[in-house]
Amino acid sequence: MANTPEASPPKLLDQVRDRIRVKHYSIRTETQYVQWTKRFILFHGKRHPRNMGQKEIEAFLTHLAVEGGVSASTQNQALSALLFLYREVLEMEVPWLDKVVRAKRPQRMPVVLTRQEVRAVLDRMSGVYGLMGALLYGTGMRLMECVRLRVKDIDFERGEILIRDGKGAKDRVTMLPAAVAEELKAHLKARRALFDEDRRAGMASVYLPDALARKYPNAPTEWGWQYVFPSGSYSVDPRSGEERRHHLDEKLLQRAMKKAVQAAGIAKPATPHTLRHSFATHLLQAGYDIRTVQELLGHKDVSTTMIYTHVLNKGGRGVVSPLDG
């Protein structure tokens, strides 16, 4: 009997993808880590990472900073990807990786809009983008938390929004602003009509995280699991290969916000995340406790929330200039 040929081991980048999926990391993290691994290997002439060490990693990170001109956060992201490669994929004992110095991230004050500026921006955002912008400011959600919002996580009766699997894989509850409740109901009515069309076409299935689709086989086609803000067309899931309707592309909201900021004549570099910063600052201005704001924002440490107290102070930490005195 002829011996059957042994299957060749998976390629390194495929091993990285497989390990990331076992760890339930997001598709964005998967894409970034695979790209950094590939760039690291190509930078060193396609040498295998097993044959490289601290010297090669530091040379790569230095190249990114000096010649690539990347930010500290980007450089640290590359280091995190290589840490994952060596520890999780190659399963190598690499104590020297702990000695690789991470780039120090500069301490920046967040961009915050005044209440009048927020109103001017939101007045210039119409339709679904106007609704999403109002939710970002009115709830303190992050951009992707809003984009990934599911129908079942909105509770009109309690006036709450449940944010599932936020940053750090944490769930939290925030308020549903009464000012957008009716508009959101009208949006969901139109969304339901689109869902019914998809169901008749056999295209109502939606992505579910962490193998929930296997545990609840009917859930992907249920109304409650649908994205509140869906894409205008179908797309192919890069992991499963299934064609279905995904959530709205966040870049569309970013562009709509940029246009609104420019139309309002605001010089600040405001983005959708600026609405979250403004939410926190305006709550503190209104006298709400910082621990309450921390909980609404989903910050792990109150020190992260404390940065908004610095925004509240006037120039020079609230000190009156002697020129004005």
> Does 167 qualify as catalytic in the annotation?
yes
> Does 282 qualify as catalytic in the annotation?
no
> Catalytic: which of 167, 187, 258, 259?
167
Structural tokens at position 216:
């609840």
Alpha carbon distance 199, 191 (integer Å): 12
Helices (H) and strands (E) in the chain, counts: 14, 5
- DSSP string computed for 279-319: HHHHHHHTT--HHHHHHHHT-SSHHHHTHHHHHHS-TTTTP
> Does 276 qualify as catalytic in the annotation?
yes
> Catalytic: which of 142, 172, 244, 282?
142
Query: In the block, which residue shows the tokens 């916000």?
Result: 257
Distances from the Cα of 87 to the Cαs of 16, 53, 94, 95, 294, in angstroms?
11, 13, 7, 10, 33
> Does 273 qualify as catalytic in the annotation?
yes
> Catalytic: which of 244, 276, 277, 282?
276
- DSSP string computed for 22-65: HTT--HHHHHHHHHHHHHHHHHTTT--GGG--HHHHHHHHHHHH
Q: Is 229 exposed, middle or buried (0-12, 13-18, 19+ CB in 10 A)?
A: buried
> Catalytic: which of 124, 277, 282, 299?
299
Which active-site residues does the annotation give? 142, 167, 273, 276, 299, 308
